[in-house]
Structure 1
Amino acid sequence: MDNFTPTRYTLTNVATGREFEDRGWMLDDPESPEPSLIRTRYASKQIHVRSEDHGIYRFCDWLPVRRMLKGSHAPVTYKSKRLAEHLGLKNLYITFSGYFPEVGARMTTCSFKETEAYNVCARRADDEKRVLVVASAGNTARAFAKVCSDNRIPLLLSVPEDNINALWFEAPLDPCVKLIAPQTGGDYFDAIHLSNLALGSPLFYAEGGAKNVARRDGMATTVLSAATTIGEIPDYYFQAVGSGTGAIAAWEANMRLIEDGRFGNKVMKLMVSQNIPFTPMYDAWRADSREMLPYDADQARADAEAIDAKVLSNRKPPYSVRGGLYDALKATDGDILVATNEEARAARRLFEEMEGVDIYSAAGVALATLIQAVKAGTVDPDKIVMLNITGGGEHYFQRDKQLWYLKPHQVFPLDPEPDYVVRTVEKLFARG
């Protein structure tokens, strides 16, 4: 593993098809006439899955990485028995990203955001001196904080003050990780805005979110885990979405698996879900609109506060952009479903009873909509269903542990003065 050779790939503009070399930390095509995601095109058309001791990098043939970082784990897929029988599904496969040693899942942040963090950070250039900036509603920040702390990568996190209880760790973090927060009442969009202001300093560079191919291809390992475990591409894919990036990644993995030739040629039906009352993508999809519909900022903050699954509260998702969620749903004949807090809570209780481990609210939303779809007859009970459990095992992992919480180094008002933000964050890293 120490003699790792960087993965060979090129980048492609989804809108125009232009193929070009990755000259470092490219997040888009500089020659694109319109906003568009870019995609990786790997030299290896067939994936060679390495041994489990490679962690997430067992899928490195299809990851745009320069190195392997320590401490990673891959998602684990297993065939459900009790939950499948309860729902009347003959081929329900659960892809679990979290902590559940009984099935081999050992992500200690208990979230599939680890799949993003280990690959984004492994894409980083050896000689990069700037500080990585990540905005998050919670779980993404915990994953990036762990990976950057363990591997001494300077990181500036921006997380809403209301969500910082998600920033728990087994032990204190390395001081290379700093946290800023929009004050109480702010949401994920406010955290993104604050991080964008910090990027006004040349000391920092953006992680890029959905635009970063390393993030999407890291998330795509959930589908790679499922297909290589099952031996074929699933028929249905269920996941709750905040930005929709994981579903976009699933679609892209599906296309690579078809090109591989060994897993069939099925187009997996994306069945993604949002948590009522925060449903901007659902509302746009129901209106058959590529563009997001108007959403009053105060109403959006209130709706984000009302949902259990705070990680699903992205007001500016990559839905409309070429190659984004709208295109993914159209290409896969997919759909967006919704679940209430109560339905998601009931689904979480059911999962723990049937499968033996706790799951996060977002995963509860996904299961709740699977239950709805089964009852409505929109899922063929004989087909292969992949349920992407994007986080779980937190209660299991935290048992008998004394946790350490990352506190904000600076809390900002919701509309801070840009120069003040830049001066403040520069001082954070000047102090070390």
Structure 2
Amino acid sequence: MTTATTSTYSCEKVTTTFNSLKCKECGTTYEPKAMHVCELCFGPLEVDYDYDAIASKVSRATIEAGPLSIWRYRDFLPVQTDNYIDVGTGMTPLLKANRLAKKLGIKNLYIKNDAINMPTLSFKDRVVSVALSRARELGFNTVACASTGNLANSTAAIAAHAGLDCCVFIPSDLEAGKVLGTVIYAPKVFAVQGNYDQVNRLCSEVANTHGWGFVNINLRPYYSEGSKTLAYETIEQLGWQLPDRVVAPLASGSLFTKIYKGFQEFVKVGLVDEKSVRFSGAQAEGCSPIASAFREGRDFIAPVKPKTIAKSIAIGNPADGVYAIDIARKTNGSIESVTDDEIIEGIKLLAETEGIFTETAGGTTIAVLKKLVEAGKIDPDETTVAYITGNGLKTQEAVQGYVGEPLQIEPKLSSFERALERSQTLERLEWQPVSV
């Protein structure tokens, strides 16, 4: 694997809507290179757009005429050429979840289902498509990431498609489905004996030493922008309207903040009418530093050591946690946490009512949605969108032992009839009221 940062790839530059990176804390601007931290205050950098330029060239019609992928929103994304990497990512269904809504006692519930996103069945395909497009523009031959699983899958797959060398770093205790879903693309995979935060610290050292393009380190300002496409698609699929409430999982906090940014950008350029949207975040109790800070009224994050089945969102020291808290507060939203048992029930509830098998991050989102409804924090009439970010086939271990088993029968009608009667009896017992 090469460690060079120059590439033979080239493409003509086109008119772009961004020309710099800007510090979120002090406002200092930088050339749009591979960097993610302000040199003056060490604040995070993000892409700075020319929204007047965007407004002058973008309309609902131009977006609707674009490709059926995240690249229909190209003018809102940090690429400077037209030869971006398009593997069909995005435009996932926004499903009206009538059966789940009825079960919970609300009316207007939608599921944004990135469990079937392409090519690796998670929302990470969005951020990686953007990050690797920008990495190629910046001349990187080798791309890499620190990952809890889904990002490793996406980086390996999209790098393979783009012909880039790839190296991924994961905690050594990841679910088997996520490990297999990475190694199949033949990257170099390093399983680190530690949690995600330890993996991430190691990767910062590797990035500085080898000069690779790490999607969630030195390319993070570009990578994180891909999450905005979830907001854009939601608006378009709701008939160019904003919802009243969103519920989304929290890991680093980046997804949460970028959905908010995406909503604000469409308002800013006149694509959708302004409206108050309440933001609710979901964490697992075994790794809930953002929820704890929100609950205790703190404006800082106290790092924790993760211990939860929800490994894909188990980040003990979340980079964007304080920004997620700020959004929840200023939108009159909330950040809640749920137990591992509640996460499992959330996975089962979504599957049984809507036919969507989600991983543990999605189970966390549904469990928090249920918790909010039961606490009276969601108006039954408001339009709520819950973001499902990954596929349950990747984390089958989480529900093994908590779901039913096949009925074993002989190849005879009589054997089938006995088994059917037995199963119906068990169903009746499950629903029989318990007398005290």
TM-score, normalised with respect to structure 2 = 0.78
Partners of 1:80 and 1:6 in 2: CA distance: 41
Q: Quick check: 256-265 or 146-155, which moved more?
A: 256-265
- 1:163 partner SS: coil
Gap change, CA 1:395 and 1:317, over 3 Å in 2: closer
Aligned to 1:412: none
Q: 2:170, 2:199 within 8 Å by CA — same for their partners in 1?
A: yes
Amino acid at match of 1:80: A
Equivalences for residues 208-227 of structure 1 within 5 A: 208-209=216-217, 212-227=220-235
In the other structure, the counterpart of 1:364 is 363
1:69 equivalent among 54, 66, 85: 85
Which residue in the other structure is 2:401 paired with?
Answer: none
> What CA distance in whole angstroms lies between the structure 2 residues aligned with 1:127 and 1:342?
45
Among all aligned residue pairs of Structure 1 and Structure 2, give the percentage whose two residues are the same amino acid: 22
The one of 94, 101, 105 equivalent to 2:111 is: 94
RMSD value, Cα:
2.8
8 A contact 1:132–1:206 mirrored in 2: yes
Give 1:189's aligned residue: 197
After superposition, the C-alpha distances for 1:368-413 in whole angstroms (9 at most, x for unaligned) are 111111111101111110100111263799xxxxxxxxxxxxxxxx
Partner residue in 2 for 1:310: 311
Provide closer, same or farther for how the CA distance between residues 337 and 144 of structure 1 changes in structure 2, counting only shifts above 3 A.
same
Please give the per-residue CA displacement for 1:300-320, whole angstroms capped at 9, x wherever unaligned.
Answer: 1xxx2x411101111221246
Q: Match of 1:262?
A: 271
Instruction: Label 1:88 to 1:179 Cα distance change in 2 as closer, same or farther (>3 A).
Output: same
Q: Does the 8 Å CA contact 1:290/1:319 hold for their aligned counterparts?
A: no
Which deviates more, 2-11 or 155-164? 2-11
Partner of 1:44: 54
Contact persistence 2:135–2:219 (CA under 8 A): no
Matches of 2:127 and 2:330 in 1, distance apart?
24
For the structure 1 residues 52 and 364, does the alpha-carbon distance in structure 2 shift closer, same or farther, using more than 3 Å as the test?
farther
Tell me: CA distance 1:313–1:29, structure 2 relative to 1, closer, same or farther (3 Å): same
CA separation of 1:122/1:345 partners in 2, compared to 1, >3 Å: closer, same or farther? same
Which residue identity is paired with 2:376?
G
- The structure that has the greater radius of gyration is 2
Q: CA deviation at 1:191?
A: 1.1
Distance 1:86-1:294 versus aligned 2 partners, 3 A rule: closer
CA displacement at 1:112 relative to structure 2: 0.6
CA contact (8 A) 2:36 2:44 kept: no
Q: Which runs of 5+ in 1 are unaligned?
A: 100-105, 398-432
Over 3 Å counting, the alpha-carbon distance change for 1:336 and 1:5 in structure 2 is: same
CA–CA distance in structure 2, aligned partners of residues 264 and 203 of structure 1? 44
> Residue type matched to 1:363 in 2?
G
Q: Relative contact order (alpha carbons < 8 A, sep ≥ 6): 1 or 2 greater? A: 1
Task: Name the structure 1 match of 2:281.
Answer: 272
Taking a change above 3 Å as real, the CA distance of residues 141 and 9 of structure 1, as seen in their structure-2 partners, is same
Mapping for residues 374-393 of structure 1, pairs under 5 Å = 374-392=373-391
2:295 is the counterpart of 1:289 = no
- Distance change >3 Å, CA 147–CA 87, structure 1 → 2: same
> Residue deviations 1:84-113, cap 9 Å, x none?
2222322212111122xxxxxx52411111
